[in-house]
Structure 1
Amino acid sequence: MEKIAIIGGSGAGKSTLAQTLGRILQIPVYHLDAIHWQPGWVPITSEAFIKKTENILNKESWIIDGNYGSTMDLRLQQADTVIFLHYKTVHCLYGIIKRRIHYRNKTRPDMGEDCPEKIDWEFFQWVRKFNKTKVPPIYKRLSSLEDKNIHIFKNRKELNTFLDKLEHGNV
């Protein structure tokens, strides 16, 4: 595992997983939210976002977390390992609310600078509808990949078992 793409619903724990894998595997971690959002929740241009992502993909090793459809195919094609956190909607909604409380009036370490944690109705609805609207195309993309290690976790217990095996050299 040298190039790892982590995808999944908001609040599932993609960034936390990326940090954990980075520590275990000693691979640099890149959070797409930190690349996409400039201070004050201003997105960078699509062209700049794609270019920055391509620069990361050209590195020897990486762990990238985030969904962002504009670069998902590039990341999935270049990754040797894909991890999909396909958790229940209620788990992800709990995750975004817990995160909002934890980072109240603060910017998360995996977020762009000066983007204090927030939940608005649009984002809440996006998380609520993720499994219905976003997951089917993700499975279609994953089914078309060849020569990749694909791990799909449906709950935290499955993920923790995987991480435990990885940390002890059993994966």
Structure 2
Amino acid sequence: MAQDLTDIAEAAGHLAQAKRILVIGCSGGGKTTLARWLSTRFDLPFISMDREFFWLPGWNSRPRAEQRAMIAAKVDQPRWIMDGTNPSSFDLRMPRTEVVLWVRMPRLLCLWGAVRRWLKWRGQARPEMADGCPERLSLEFVRYIWTFEGKFAPMVEAGLREHAVPVLQIRSRAQMRQLLDLLSARP
């Protein structure tokens, strides 16, 4: 059973000690920005699941067996922060994860984040995406964001229940800012 962290200060303590952190959530919610900040703050290698495991140039999917082999090898490393939800690989990632941050922002905020990202990167591959995968904003992607809570969050919840990993759900920008402020103040 997942251990819900409800106190931000307690969560900051877990994060400050953790060597393997998983950041999950809906696209556009800020999980990559948070993961990169934590990577820099705690000198943890940043792993983008999109760039390193899922996508090949031209938005072609890497074969699933190859993805799983690569994920298994990467999570075996002693230190990392991994950016990406994908509950189908929780069986590989959770046993090695020390704390999970679930960036669970309201869907309108996620949509706005995705639009802003598209405006910034359209026609180019952003740093956490595979080469040859320029930023795009399709109806399918908007639908994914809009239905994430109803369709995908239950799968995430079920996957988290199977593992005894501390989980902090970040549901607002104010809560994220509070966490970052606490972590910034730590030596």
Q: Give 3-state SS (helix, strand or coil) of 2:21's partner.
A: strand
Q: Deviations over 1:37-91 (max 9, x none)?
A: 1111111100111111111101011100111233123212220010001111101
State the one-letter code of the partner of 2:26: G
Distance 1:106 1:121 in 2: 19
- 1:160 matches 2:174: no
Normalised TM-score (structure 1): 0.94
Q: Deviation at 1:136? A: 2.0
Q: Give 3-state SS (helix, strand or coil) of 2:100's partner.
A: strand
Structure 2 regions of 5+ residues with no counterpart? 1-17
Distance 2:138 2:94 in 1: 29
Query: Match for residue 60 of structure 2?
Result: 42
Q: Give 3-state SS (helix, strand or coil) of 1:34's partner.
A: helix
**Which of 11, 18, 23 does residue 40 from structure 2 map onto?**
23
Q: Give 3-state SS (helix, strand or coil) of 1:150's partner.
A: strand
State the one-letter code of the partner of 2:183: L
Query: Match for residue 150 of structure 1?
Result: 167
Query: Match for residue 97 of structure 2?
Result: 79
Where do 1:113-152 residues align within 5 Å?
113-146=131-164, 148-152=165-169
Q: Give 3-state SS (helix, strand or coil) of 1:19's partner.
A: helix
Answer with 117-126 or 66-75: which moved more: 66-75
* Count of paired positions: 169
Q: Alpha carbon RMSD of aligned pairs, Å?
A: 1.3
Q: Percent identity?
A: 27
Normalised TM-score (structure 2): 0.86
Distance 1:46 1:139 in 2: 22
Distance 2:181 2:103 in 1: 17
Q: Deviations over 1:125-144 (max 9, x none)?
A: 11110011111222233234
Moved over 3 A (4+): none
State the one-letter code of the partner of 1:118: R
Distance 2:179 2:57 in 1: 36
Q: Deviations over 1:94-130 (max 9, x none)?
A: 1111100000211100000111000111111111100
Distance 1:163 1:64 in 2: 17
Where relative contact order (Cα < 8 A, 6+ residues apart) is larger, the structure is: 2
